[in-house]
Structure 1
Amino acid sequence: MGEIIVGFSNWIWGAPILILLLGGGSYFFIHSGFIPFRKLGYAMRVLNGKYDSDLAPGQITSKQALYSAIASTVGLGNISGVAIALNMGGPGAIFWMWVAAFVGMATKFYTCSLAIMYRGEDSAGVIQGGPMYVIDRGMGKKWKFLSYIFCIAGVIGLLAIFQANQLTAVLQAVLIQPETMEETMRNRWIIGFVMMGLTAIVILGGIQRIAAVASKMVPFMVVVYFSTVLIIVFQYYEAVPEMIQLIFVDAFTGTAVMGGAVGAMIIIGARRAAFSNEAGIGTAPMVHGQSKNLEPIREGLIAMLGPFIDTIIVCTLTALAILLTGVWGTSENDGVKLTLDAFEKGIPYIGKYLLLISVLVFALSTMFTYSYYGHKCMGYLFGADKANYYNYFYLGTIVVGAVVSLDVVVSLVDGMYAVMAFPNMIAALYLSSKVKAATKDYFARMKQAET
């Protein structure tokens, strides 16, 4: 079964999905007039809550929506995913992660603007947003099959099995250090059940509790991780220009992967970027669609900050820590254990504990938010009254994720992400002209209001 899952993931992450995510994102980037560059500062300014209104439909503020989205993206994809990218594709894969991030910012601008523009109601009459409702209300009932494809893949792909797997691995490596395989497996089961209990406390309280917890955890986890990596970077600051040059040179030579296969490295970079910032996958529109915002374009601008924070800042810091310490070329470890090697070498004695704190907060915050995404997919498929059953299924799979192999976990999630991307990107491309027109109208009104 594991081989089938890995084979399917490798097959679907070929040229079609690469063209869809990078090609579609590039189209949004150009079609929007390079809005990630032109309006990045404006997006940061509107995040201060100046335009928030409790009278607007929705359940959370735009800032809470962004923090919830970041809680699901700034996680182990930034710590373990970057290490996997370096292990599989070499330094050049990081460059293609950057490229994917900038086009991903444009993608999130379009998809999250549409999430507000085409909000719908679930079977209980509650306002909801997300790709499934965009397809329903924006494209029409004849496209409804795409909504079902997205939600079925979401129910599986948005499980927290990767986070459970990697958090278990780092807890064992740092704190427990078992000596036998029997001890390792026993500890995995114990850790899995503890994680399940902690997650249950939060997710059973619904999106309001998830958003409230995420709003407190996200700033803390970014500051802790940011500060720790900067300590490592500062120690090797003289080598930073050399590492940056290595990333750019290797991006176009591919010497570190498959005998110089640049195309394979681009796929690796795009695949890990998609797993890290989820641009084009369709998760962020589900939470931004719950924002108390009457302006679709304003929500889209706020949403595009996610890939910038996630990939351009956090993933780059992780990559520098691994490259500067030199462990990427000497260690046989992969995933979070490779990053652990870098932290141990960069900050002896305490580095691994600082990473443990970051991994713990990152993983738990992602577990909390992912449950909401899967919950929404379940509600769309079977009705709002059945959605809560998903939470119990979700909690049970956390234990499973703690004990299965990393290859199977990564491949299952990657495969379902690719399936989710097709309906989401098709809808965004189909309705892109609506976003373009709304953008022109929004900034014209804002300019008139200022005069």
Structure 2
Amino acid sequence: MTLKDILIGFGNAMWGTPLLVLLMGGGLFFLLYSRFLPFRYFGHAINILRGKYDGDKSEGDISHYQALSTALAATVGMGNISGVAVAITMGGPGAIFWMWVSAFVGMATKFFTCTLAVMFRGKDSLGRLQGGPMYVIREGLGKKWYPLAVLFCVAGVFGTVPSFQANQLTAAIGEGLLIPMGVEMTFAVKLVIGVILAGIVAMVMFGGIKRIGTVAGSMVPFMVLIYVIAVVAILIINRELVPEYFVLIITDAFTAKSVLGGAVGAIIIAGARRAAFSNEAGIGTAPMAHGAAKTNEPIREGLVAMLGPAIDTIVVCTMTALAILLTGIWQEHTEGISGVTLTIKAFDDTLIGGRFILMIALVVFAITSLFSYSYYGGKCFSFLFGAQYERYYQYFYVLMVVWGAVTSLGAVIGLIDGMYAVMAFPTMISALILAPKVMKAAKVYFAKKDL
């Protein structure tokens, strides 16, 4: 059995019924328990994001906007371009419906988990204020739950490796640029691409969260704008097919006739797995970014975080899915077209210069994702071994960029999916236990007259 087989088996084994119940059932609980409270203040969340309540005297390192941009830099990325293609390949059009469901309940999950990330911030070994599920567990649940925090961080060190982004960006560069120029994608070529990517990531990563937040805050809106304009063009060109494929997404979610022999359960898992990679609700990565926000009001950061799944899964992922489905490229996956290659072909077959437009978005998507994940993994490593040793993780991270560029997609997905699953258990368990504290704080916050 090869390493690839082991990693694929690990990822598949972890994404079983217990995890599905925990993520989607837990999200539904948060939604009902809060009585849809955070959704009723959606406009207020926008005002917070715009900086209306920012205060320089608040604790933290970055603004609400930078915190959301950092989180979105990780989620609005390859998961929305390549991840959606993988979901359709694995589960057909119906997988997109279950991505929607996961994102909707995931908005409530983000509200609770990211509120807790600010509510229970703690100090690292250098005395710096930090947030994230490991600190929520340590500060909010106490010492007897500490092994759960360790489990989260061990999985976080490996679950946030940049290998998927590096792998798919390398594939995109090959498919979209080098192969048309007659350059064969040999191991040596992939290695060169990996080394270049690693160099770019290192320059930003060693600057810490403030530099990551600044770069993400400037690049995320740009990349979303380019991508949305291109996809809207594809939808307009194929506008007569849009209603038909919306119906197909919904009907296929419950019949799964297009794939898997009608295995609806398998389609739900496929959608939930890709939604978790897309918006990370319940996984625990985003709370690490939102935990660094400058605010003394935990509820505010929870509301800002809630916007994440709405943007990256319900909007961006849906647009990607429609672009793939409308062009009919998804039906060719049996011929070996999958992952980011599927999305590139959909763009190229519809738009003049489509692959080059997508290439620009892909480069920005992938590189900003690489920045955010370095921050997440570094925080997990620092919690385990001490913040003074974080540089050692950064060296490991740079090497994993190179590994991702030269290894197979299946191995990368298996590793990250499996570790994401492990991370979800500590994140969701702690959030469910501490949910009453969030609601108590929410009642106090929303009772204020100056909202």
TM-score, normalised with respect to structure 1? 0.97
Q: Report the Cα distance in structure 1 between the residues aligned to 2:232 and 2:376, rounded to whole angstroms.
A: 33
Residue 208 of structure 1: aligned partner = 210
Q: Report the Cα distance in structure 2 between the residues aligned to 1:188 and 1:319, rounded to whole angstroms.
A: 28
Residue 341 of structure 2: aligned partner = 337
Matched, 1:421 2:421: no
Cα distance change of structure 1 residues 187 and 35 upon mapping to structure 2, 3 Å threshold? farther
Q: Which secondary structure does the structure 1 equivalent of 2:450 belong to?
A: helix
Deviation at 1:175?
1.2
The farther-off stretch of 157-166 and 43-52 is: 43-52
Alignment deviations for residues 189-246 of structure 1 (CA, whole Å, 9 cap, x no partner): 0100000011111001111111000000100000000000000000011111111011
Q: Which residue, out of 249, 268, 271, partners 2:270?
A: 268
Q: Report the Cα distance in structure 1 between the residues aligned to 2:92 and 2:4, rounded to whole angstroms.
A: 25
Residue 321 of structure 1: aligned partner = 323
Q: Report the Cα distance in structure 1 between the residues aligned to 2:11 and 2:231, rounded to whole angstroms.
A: 32
Q: Percent identity?
A: 58
Contact between 2:161 and 2:373, CA under 8 Å: does it hold in 1? Answer: yes
Q: Report the Cα distance in structure 1 between the residues aligned to 2:29 and 2:327, rounded to whole angstroms.
A: 37
Q: Report the Cα distance in structure 2 between the residues aligned to 1:57 and 1:443, rounded to whole angstroms.
A: 21
Residue 362 of structure 1: aligned partner = 365
The farther-off stretch of 32-41 and 319-328 is: 32-41
Deviation at 1:254?
1.1
Contact between 2:100 and 2:313, CA under 8 Å: does it hold in 1? Answer: yes
Q: Which residue, out of 351, 359, 371, partners 2:374?
A: 371
Question: Which sections of structure 1, spanning at least 5 residues, go unmatched?
Answer: none
Contact between 1:36 and 1:102, CA under 8 Å: does it hold in 2? Answer: no
Contact between 1:35 and 1:106, CA under 8 Å: does it hold in 2? Answer: no
Matched to 2:261, the amino acid is G
Question: Which sections of structure 2, spanning at least 5 residues, go unmatched?
Answer: none
Residue 298 of structure 1: aligned partner = 300
Residue 399 of structure 1: aligned partner = 402
Deviation at 1:341?
0.9
Deviation at 1:42?
2.0
Residue 278 of structure 1: aligned partner = 280
Contact between 2:48 and 2:54, CA under 8 Å: does it hold in 1? Answer: no
Query: Pairwise mapping of residues 29-428 of structure 1 onto structure 2 (< 5 A)?
Result: 29-35=31-37, 37-177=39-179, 183-331=185-333, 332=335, 333-348=337-352, 350-428=353-431
Matched to 2:390, the amino acid is A
Deviation at 1:37?
3.4
Query: Pairwise mapping of residues 4-23 of structure 1 onto structure 2 (< 5 A)?
Result: 4-23=6-25
Q: Which secondary structure does the structure 1 equivalent of 2:447 belong to?
A: helix
Contact between 2:174 and 2:185, CA under 8 Å: does it hold in 1? Answer: no
Deviation at 1:409?
0.3
Q: Report the Cα distance in structure 1 between the residues aligned to 2:234 and 2:285, rounded to whole angstroms.
A: 33
Alignment deviations for residues 132-157 of structure 1 (CA, whole Å, 9 cap, x no partner): 00001111100000000000001111
Alignment deviations for residues 23-73 of structure 1 (CA, whole Å, 9 cap, x no partner): 101100111111353222221122111111111111111110000000010
Q: Which secondary structure does the structure 2 equivalent of 1:200 belong to?
A: helix
Superposition RMSD in Å: 1.3
Q: Report the Cα distance in structure 1 between the residues aligned to 2:366 and 2:38, rounded to whole angstroms.
A: 28
Matched to 1:115, the amino acid is A
Matched to 2:51, the amino acid is G
Q: Report the Cα distance in structure 1 between the residues aligned to 2:198 and 2:251, rounded to whole angstroms.
A: 44
TM-score, normalised with respect to structure 2? 0.97
Q: Report the Cα distance in structure 1 between the residues aligned to 2:69 and 2:239, rounded to whole angstroms.
A: 31
The farther-off stretch of 34-43 and 274-283 is: 34-43
Contact between 1:107 and 1:279, CA under 8 Å: does it hold in 2? Answer: yes
Deviation at 1:182?
7.2
Matched to 2:286, the amino acid is A
Alignment deviations for residues 242-277 of structure 1 (CA, whole Å, 9 cap, x no partner): 110111111111112221011110000000000110
Alignment deviations for residues 270-289 of structure 1 (CA, whole Å, 9 cap, x no partner): 00000110000000110111
Matched to 2:401, the amino acid is I
Contact between 1:158 and 1:371, CA under 8 Å: does it hold in 2? Answer: yes
Contact between 2:179 and 2:185, CA under 8 Å: does it hold in 1? Answer: no
Cα distance change of structure 1 residues 183 and 15 upon mapping to structure 2, 3 Å threshold? closer
Q: Report the Cα distance in structure 2 between the residues aligned to 1:257 and 1:108, rounded to whole angstroms.
A: 31
Deviation at 1:330?
2.7
Deviation at 1:387?
1.2
